[in-house]
Amino acid sequence: MNNLTTRPASNVVKIYAGIAGIVLLLMMSLGILMRLTQGQLINIQPDIFYQILTAHGIGMVAIASLGGAAVMWHFLGNYVKLYDGVAFANLAFFLLGVVFVLGSIFVGGFAAAWTFLYPLPSNSMGFWSNHAAAAYLIGVLLVGVGFLLFYLETARALMKGYGSFFHALGWRFLRTGDKADAPPPAVIASSVVTIINIVSILIGACILVMMLVNLYVPEFHINPLLAKNLIYLFGHVLINATIYMAVIAVYEILPQYTGRPWKIYKPFIWSWALTCLMVLTVYPHHLLMDFAQPVWAHVLGQIVSYASSLPVLAVTLVGTLASIYRSKIKWDLTSSLLVLSIFGWSAGVIPAVIDGTIAVNKVMHNTLWVPGHFHLYLLVGCISMIFAFINWISRNGQLTAFSKVDKNIFWLFTASSMGFVMMFLASGHASVPRRWAAHYDEWIKYDQIAAFFALFILLSAATIVMRALIRLPTAGRD
């Protein structure tokens, strides 16, 4: 198979990808510090631990979103006209928001976790001031404003290029069956992400503003259950959307390795349409232990938790396997990471569905089982997609030999990531609680083994990212 070329990444995509790669490594480093602390291999005071926990959580959500946005912007730009100035505006708001968030955490001492559940930000028991809490909320709001501009621009471009979301989502093809009415997978996925994230960001802005008012006008009361629903609708949709953006890399890049275009058929379009609805209603499985929640919401969360994991994942998994089967695929670091990512996404759903069962949720949800689920989903799934994309654009879309160094890096990243995730799941099975800075002696062995694997994740990930970043500035130049 000859080397394949593609449209070079624009400067804004390179900047997004570069920042995403570097910050992902920094967030991994914070994660290692927490596991080393829990394993009693280093000593970090609990107040500092919870600051690191907060920074790691919100940082991973934000930077995974930025990495996914780089993938979506690059490939959607093949089909519609996007204005890079809006992407730069998003980046400016993003960086300003990061300054506020980091200042609130490491200067102001804010440590209410990335979910900032009401009324914790305003009830710190003296660990942080209202000003620190306000800085955090303002920082998250600024990041949200930037991404809102980003998605409004993709909405404008999709509407102009396809006339309406009805067409961009491929719903005309459902009616006519004419292949000419079927948009590319990147357009369908981008349309869904645009819709759900505009909704989630606007809802997030509402609760953030409400909590900001409450900080300085305590008489302005917020219903805690309403606040929790709004926060989880915002955060859960946002983090789910990261993989829906990043998977565009699988749709666009993998066919270049297999020589088989990604086929659009009616189940694919139906799957994305169902996801557009279910991703907005799946979050109540995080509130199954809130007895005050209406019963219908618990029922909805239970049913959708089972159903939402199937449509897009199923058609993507089947499509990936069909694309690879007897294709004489050219294996290199990029293609290997893309296939690994589909495995991580598929496997990550299994512990999520188990936890989404009420009988299990009552026992397991506040244990390390849940971080096991989302690290499998995010680390092995989404981040592998982002790493594959960064490596691919740094080589200007050229197929390369799968060198011995690349193979060793890939297998080290795969093995250490799976080992790390399995220790989370094993800890959850042993009822080790989430978000504890100090662990009992019986739990230490899990933490120490996890820290060992985490160090090798960082080593392999840093090698992948730094080698790509060295090539990235000159990629696409003649």
First to last CA, the chain: 23
- Residue the block writes with tokens 């606040």: 227
- Residue the block writes with tokens 């199937």: 310
pLDDT in tens, 55-101: 999 999 999 999 999 999 999 999 999 999 999 999 999 999 999 99
pLDDT recorded at residue 291: 84
Question: What distance lies between CA 323 and its chain's CA centroid?
Answer: 25
Average pLDDT over residues 138-143: 98
Amino acid type, 14? K
Average pLDDT over residues 129-135: 98
Residue 358 has pLDDT above 90, yes or no: no
pLDDT recorded at residue 477: 66
- Per DSSP, the three-state class of 419 is helix
pLDDT recorded at residue 313: 87
Tokens representing 350?
Answer: 């299994």
pLDDT recorded at residue 476: 73
Residue 362 has pLDDT above 90, yes or no: no
Tokens representing 56?
Answer: 């790691």
pLDDT recorded at residue 478: 52
pLDDT in tens, 408-419: 999 999 999 999
Half-sphere exposure of residue 109, counting CA atoms within 13 Å on the CB side?
11
94 in Cβ contact with 66 (< 8 Å): yes
- Per DSSP, the three-state class of 397 is coil
Residue 138 has pLDDT above 60, yes or no: yes
Average pLDDT over residues 270-288: 90
In the 8-state DSSP scheme, what is residue 433?
B
Amino acid type, 72? M
Residue 289 has pLDDT above 60, yes or no: yes
Where do the domains of the chain lie? 11-474
**Rounded-to-integer distance, Cα 386 and Cα 242, Å:** 10
Share of the chain above pLDDT 70, in %: 98
Residue 5 has pLDDT above 70, yes or no: no
Instruction: Annotate 245-311 with DSSP letters as a single string.
Output: HHTHHHHHHHHHHHS-PPPP-HHHHHHHHHHHHHTTT-GGGGGTT-TTS-HHHHHHHHHHHHHTTSH
pLDDT in tens, 367-381: 999 999 999 999 999
Tokens representing 203?
Answer: 């809802």
Residue 440 has pLDDT above 60, yes or no: yes
Fold of 11-474: Cytochrome C Oxidase; Chain A (1.20.210)
Kindly list the distances between the CA atom of residue 72 and the CA atoms of 110, 409, 446, in Å, as whole numbers in the listed order.
Answer: 33, 26, 37
pLDDT recorded at residue 297: 86
pLDDT in tens, 305-319: 888 777 888 999 999
Tell me whether the omega of the peptide bond preceding residue 119 falls within 30 degrees of 0, making it cis: yes
Q: What is the mean pLDDT of the chain?
A: 94
362 in Cβ contact with 289 (< 8 Å): yes
Residue 4 has pLDDT above 80, yes or no: no
pLDDT recorded at residue 1: 33
Give the pTM: 0.95
pLDDT recorded at residue 446: 97
Tokens representing 144?
Answer: 């949200």
Average pLDDT over residues 333-341: 97
- Which residues are registered as beta bridge partners of 433? 367
pLDDT recorded at residue 298: 83
Residues 6 or more apart whose CB falls under 8 angstroms from that of 81 comprise: 157, 160, 161
pLDDT in tens, 182-235: 999 999 999 999 999 999 999 999 999 999 999 999 999 999 999 999 999 999
Average pLDDT over residues 434-456: 96
Residues 6 or more apart whose CB falls under 8 angstroms from that of 310 comprise: none
Three-state SS string over 304-330 comes to HHHHCCCHHHHHHHHHHHHHHCCCCCC
**Res. 2 pLDDT band, cuts 50 70 90:** very low
> Which of 247, 251, 254, 237 is CA-nearest to residue 386?
247
Tokens representing 373?
Answer: 């689920």
Taking the CA atoms of residue 262, residue 468, residue 463 and residue 99 in that order, the dihedral angle to the nearest 10 degrees is: -100
Total Cβ atoms within 10 A of residue 129: 15
Residue 351 has pLDDT above 60, yes or no: yes
pLDDT recorded at residue 340: 97
Residue 6 has pLDDT above 70, yes or no: no
